[in-house]
Amino acid sequence: MAVLALSGSPSDIESNFDAYVRQFGKSYASAEERTQRLHIFSENMDFIEQSNAKNLSFTLGLTPFTDLSFSEWRDQFLTGFSQSAGLKENGAVFRAPEGFEVPESVDWVEKGAVTSIKDQGQCGSCWTFSATGALEGALFVAGRPLTELSQQEILDCDKGGNKCGGGGMDQAFAWVKENGLCGLAKYPYQCSDQNSESCTNAQCNANCDMVLKPGDVSGFTDVGHTTAALEAAVAQQPVSVAIEADQPAFQHYTQGVLTDEACGSNLDHGVLVVGYGEMDGKKYWKVKNSWGTSHGVNGYWFVERGSSQEGGECGIRMAASFPTVKHAAVGIVV
């Protein structure tokens, strides 16, 4: 998405802000709030232009968050992953099999194993979107129909998590293994605004047609912290990961390959690795996010792959895991 140029003229800033408001359907409660948002927008545009002037491997631009201060954005959208909620099921760690030849590229979106980009809204529910994305991919790999799964049921029913206050993907996998999971169509998302009545009043109600029955998830596996291990895991199915996204580059990211310069390794956001490849000579992980299609590259991020020795860029290899779904039953012909 193109970055609007600012000349410093108040009229230019106003016109750019008006265009931004129209583009993203923004509305403000008062003239005072609009003035505040205009000021923040102007400061963010200065940061965006300064970053792009460095000719980095990634580009910043207009996103739904360009009228938010960094602290507002971080507090609203990066409260969802809890490392303390992680758990190992049996101590097993997935590593690249001996002699495994890594494919040059993998794209589970193209293979048909990834559902549409979702928007978690102002709720720390990223962990449920990462977990359901991995479960959806596992369904596909197991020969079952690709079906959108319910994040809201996990928020309402998995008491190991803290609803919009955060949780972990392994924890969600363990809950689904024991309890099953309904489809999104029958149990829709209610927490785009965590303070709304629809979210605060939502109660656990698993009385719907389950897509995953109790026991359909046979287990889940944590992935070793090496590039080879995560590549091998992603080669077999989409993988849940956590990253540190509480940096300004993520707030305004629109294209290119994000590098360690854009982040750190204090994990705060659950996402889904759906492939890997190479772009303009730089290796990347393809990451499905849950901030809607207006952020990133139609809702996806590209994060550098393989240059970091410990934990991966943005910590992407530090908390990777994937569930296993039992294969579809095959009828026996007598």
Same structural domain for residues 185 and 245? yes
Same structural domain for residues 48 and 81? no
Residue 238 and residue 219 in contact, taking contact as beta carbons nearer than 8 Å: no
Per cent of the chain over pLDDT 90 is 80
Please list the active-site residues.
126, 269, 289
Query: Which of the four pLDDT bands, split at 50, 70 and 90, describes residue 7?
Result: very low
Cα separation of 304 and 147, whole Å? Answer: 29
Q: Residue 63: inside a domain, yes or no?
A: no
Query: Which of the four pLDDT bands, split at 50, 70 and 90, describes residue 3?
Result: very low
> What residue type is assigned to position 191 of the chain?
C
Same structural domain for residues 246 and 114? yes
Same structural domain for residues 36 and 144? no
Same structural domain for residues 266 and 142? yes
- Is pLDDT above 60 for 6? no
| pLDDT tens readout for residues 268-279 | 999 999 999 999
Q: Residue 35: inside a domain, yes or no?
A: yes
Q: Residue 69: inside a domain, yes or no?
A: no
Q: How many domains does the chain have?
A: 2
Same structural domain for residues 33 and 80? no
Q: Which is it for strands 253-256 and 58-60: parallel, antiparallel or unpaired?
A: antiparallel
Same structural domain for residues 34 and 167? no
Same structural domain for residues 109 and 32? no
Same structural domain for residues 31 and 141? no
pLDDT at position 334, please? 30
Q: Residue 274's domain spans which residues?
A: 74-325
Residue 161 and residue 261 in contact, taking contact as beta carbons nearer than 8 Å: no
Cα separation of 272 and 261, whole Å? Answer: 21
Same structural domain for residues 321 and 280? yes
Residue 180 and residue 212 in contact, taking contact as beta carbons nearer than 8 Å: yes
DSSP state of 167: B
pTM above 0.75, yes or no: yes
Looking up residue 126, the CATH number of its domain turns out to be 3.90.70.10
Across 44-62, average pLDDT: 96
| pLDDT tens readout for residues 62-108 | 999 999 999 999 998 888 898 765 555 556 799 988 888 889 999 99
pLDDT at position 105, please? 97
- Is pLDDT above 90 for 8? no
19-33, 116-130, 216-230, 299-313: which has the minimum mean pLDDT? 299-313
DSSP string, 257-299: -B-GGG--S---EEEEEEEEEEETTEEEEEEE-SB-TTSTBTT
Same structural domain for residues 20 and 150? no
| pLDDT tens readout for residues 281-304 | 999 999 999 999 999 999 999 999
